[in-house]
Amino acid sequence: MIEIIDKIPVELKRDNILKAMRLKVTQPRIETVLNELLSEANRIASPKALYKVAYIDNKGDDSIEIEGATFHSHVLRVNFDKIERVFPYVATCGRELDEFDAGNDAMWQLCWDTVKMVTVGLAMNFLFNQIKHKYQLGQTAHMNPGSLTDWPITEQRPLFSLFEGTEKQIGVHLTEGCMMQPMKSVSGIFYTSEVKYENCQLCPREGCIGRRAPYSPELVKQFSI
Task: Give a yes or no: residue 110 inside a domain.
Answer: yes
DSSP state of 201: G
Lowest mean pLDDT among 11-25, 99-113, 207-221: 207-221
SS3 call for 159: helix
Residue 207 falls inside a structural domain:
no
- Whether residue 210 lies inside any domain: the answer is no
Percentage of the chain exceeding pLDDT 70: 85
Domain contains 204? no
Strands (E), 93-222: 140-143, 173-174, 180-181, 185-192
Q: Does 68 fall in a domain?
A: yes
Q: How many domains does one find in the chain?
A: 1
| Sign of the dihedral defined by the CA atoms of residues 94, 98, 101, 102, in that order | positive
DSSP labels, 93-104: --HHHHTS---S
CATH number at residue 10: 3.40.109.40
- Whether residue 96 is contained in a domain is answered as yes
Residue 216 in domain = no
Neighbours of 79 (CB within 10 A): 22
Question: 3-class DSSP state for residue 81?
Answer: coil
Residue 21 lies in a domain: yes
pTM reported for the whole predicted model: 0.85
Contact 103, 109 (CB under 8 A): yes
pLDDT computed for residue 31 by the predictor: 79
Domain range for 41: 2-197
Query: Which has the minimum average pLDDT: 21-25, 55-59, 113-117, 147-151?
Result: 21-25
